Amino acid sequence: MTVAEMLRGTEVVLLDFDGPVADLFPRGSGSRIGDRAREPLLRAGVELPEVVRATVQHLVVLEFAGVRAPQVVEDVERASVAGEVEAAGTAPVTPGVVEFLDACAETGRRVVVVSNNCGVAVQSFLEREGLVGRVEGVVGRPFGRPELMKPNPALIDGLLPELGVAAGRCLMVGDSASDIEFSRRVGMPSVGYAKSPERGAELAAAGADAIAHGMQRLGAAIRAVG
């Protein structure tokens, strides 16, 4: 399937948030929220493996808590939500995403944000940027259930019937291997949004059907197929 064929067949775009829409933790600012997420675990005396102790990615901490420390997962979730909402207040918008959303609207394609971040952070960012009307909905991480994050298809349970669309008529756009894996499990094509050639190679290896090096270019490609 060519990229044009894939885009032509797309009725609904499932759009990842952190990356394609916003840079939620610019310049390593994720380390602070990582620390906040670790606090409840350390307070409870949970022993952390090196990878969890050292990561700047709070979602790695949250996933660990879900599996190994369910007694504090809700506290870790609360810290994660607070940190994400705070970050959403200052996160820069991804260049070209407004043009991309315009292209989708002009060609009659609906957009739903599907994020491993919490819905309230995504929503507040969209409000801040005046983009609420550009998306049909927001699906975020369910509270205290990190095991349901992408690549788990359960994150969008019920969504496609609600939208009245088959998976094959959707397109996942995301910047992580987990987005690509998610699309494969759900049975929809995917475009990997890559800010660097390295990330592009990683997403291609994960099985992305196409790689986009800019959201504006992806919007132009959608406009081109109409």
Determine if 99 is a binding residue for Mg ion (CB under 5 A).
no
What does the per-residue mask of binding to Mg ion show for 165-194, with x meaning CB under 5 A? ----------xx------------------
Strand segments, DSSP code E, in the chain are 12-15, 110-114, 137-139, 170-174, 190-193, 210-212
Nearer to Mg ion, 40 or 146 (CB): 146
Calpha distance 29→50 (Å, rounded) = 20
Give the residue, chosen from 18, 63, 77, 84, that forms a contact with Mg ion under the rule CB under 5 A: 18
Tokens found for residue 159? 């969504």
Distance of CA 207 to the CA centre of its chain: 17
Out of 16, 75, 77, 84, the residue judged to bind Mg ion by CB under 5 A: 16
Residue 143's Cβ-count burial label (10 Å; 0-12, 13-18, 19+) is middle
Stretch that binds Mg ion, among 15-23, 60-68, 97-105, 155-163 (CB under 5 A): 15-23
Q: Is 202 in the site for Mg ion (CB under 5 A)?
A: no
Q: Which residue is nearest to Mg ion, using beta carbons?
A: 19
* 19 lies in the site for Mg ion, by CB under 5 A: yes
Alpha-carbon torsion, ordered 113, 118, 121, 125, to 10 deg: -10
Q: Shortest Cβ distance from residue 217 to Mg ion (Å)?
A: 18
C-beta of 175: minimal distance to Mg ion in Å? 4
User: Contact at 8 Å (CB) between 120 and 113?
Assistant: no
Instruction: Map residues 127-166 to x or -, x wherever contact with Mg ion holds by CB under 5 A.
Output: ----------------------------------------
Q: How far from chain centre, in Å, is Cα 133?
A: 19
